[in-house]
Structure formats: structure tokens, C-alpha cells
């Protein structure tokens, strides 16, 4: 069975400081992992994805995530937050078995303080 846990429902950081959004997963197989972003009143947008290639994945808008199998984690980071990063972020696990559904985390709302 697959599962994904986003450890923080809300994260607040000051503009210009680093961002860390935590995600842990559980999977019987080596999954594909994704981060999606949803800005207020906007649709969901793919931020980045991991598919068993390089463990450090770079995405759009300066975000990156590192797949750590030993820790079953896929945390999202950005060196310096910008006001436009304020949004909801979702960690997603996509199992290798295509009959298993893709699973969304409950989301982390990122607040950027001026």
C-alpha cells in the first residue's frame, strides 16, 4: 500500500529565507514522486518530479527536492523565498503498479512574511 504524509499543514517563512516543506512516503515499490503547487484561485501546476533518475530534482521557480530512500522522504526546498511562492503545495506518490492510484498528501500552505 502507498501513502504520503506532509508533516506540516502550514509553514511561515520570511521573504528571502530558505523554505523547507516536508514529505514522507510509504511504498512497496520504488515510486515516482511529485510536488504540485496551487496558487490561490488557480489550478494545480506540476513543480517537479522524481522518477528513479537523479535523486536531486530541480523544478520550476527555483524549487528542488531530494529523494532519500533511507529516510523515505522527498522534502521540497528553496534557498530564498519570494512573496509569489505563497501557495498550497502537495506531495504526491505515484506507484509503479499502474493499477494503484496516485495518492496526494493533504497539502502544506506556505505563507511568506514580508
Partner 1 sequence: GAGVSQSPSNKVTEKGKDVELRCDPISGHTALYWYRQSLGQGLEFLIYFQGNSAPDKSGLPSDRFSAERTGGSVSTLTIQRTQQEDSAVYLCASSPPGREGREQFFGPGTRLTVL
| DSSP letter assigned to residue 40 | T
**Closest distance of CB 96 from partner 1, Å:** 5
- Report how many residues bind partner 1 under the rule CB under 8 A: 22
Residues 54 to 83: which contact partner 1 by CB under 8 A?
Answer: none
CA–CA separation, 47 and 38 (whole Å): 10
Our CB check for partner 1 shows the closer of 17 and 55 to be: 55
Which residues lie closer than 8 Å to 7 by C-beta, 6 or more apart?
22, 23, 24
Our CB check for partner 1 shows the closer of 22 and 49 to be: 49
CA–CA separation, 100 and 16 (whole Å): 40
Q: Residue 13 forms beta bridges with which residues? A: 112
Our CB check for partner 1 shows the closer of 52 and 55 to be: 52
Q: Interacting stretch for partner 1, rule CB under 8 A, among 13-21, 55-63, 66-74, 87-95? A: 87-95
Neighbours of 35 (CB within 10 A): 26
H-helix segments, 1-114: none
24: contact with partner 1 by CB under 8 A: no
Residues that bind partner 1 (CB under 8 A): 32, 34, 43-44, 46, 49, 51-52, 88, 90, 92, 94, 96, 98-99, 101-107
Amino acid at each position: 500500500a502507498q501513502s504520503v504524509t506532509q508533516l506540516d499543514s502550514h509553514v511561515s517563512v520570511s521573504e528571502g529565507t530558505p523554505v523547507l516543506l516536508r514529505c514522507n512516503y510509504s511504498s512497496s515499490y520504488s515510486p515516482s514522486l511529485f510536488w504540485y503547487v496551487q496558487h490561490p484561485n488557480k489550478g494545480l501546476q506540476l513543480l517537479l518530479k522524481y522518477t528513479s533518475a537523479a535523486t536531486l530534482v530541480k523544478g520550476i521557480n527555483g524549487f528542488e527536492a531530494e529523494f532519500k530512500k533511507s529516510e523515505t522522504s522527498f522534502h521540497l526546498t528553496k534557498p530564498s523565498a519570494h512573496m509569489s511562492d505563497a501557495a498550497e503545495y502537495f506531495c504526491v506518490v505515484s506507484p509503479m503498479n499502474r493499477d494503484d492510484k496516485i495518492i496526494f498528501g493533504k497539502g502544506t500552505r506556505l505563507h511568506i512574511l514580508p
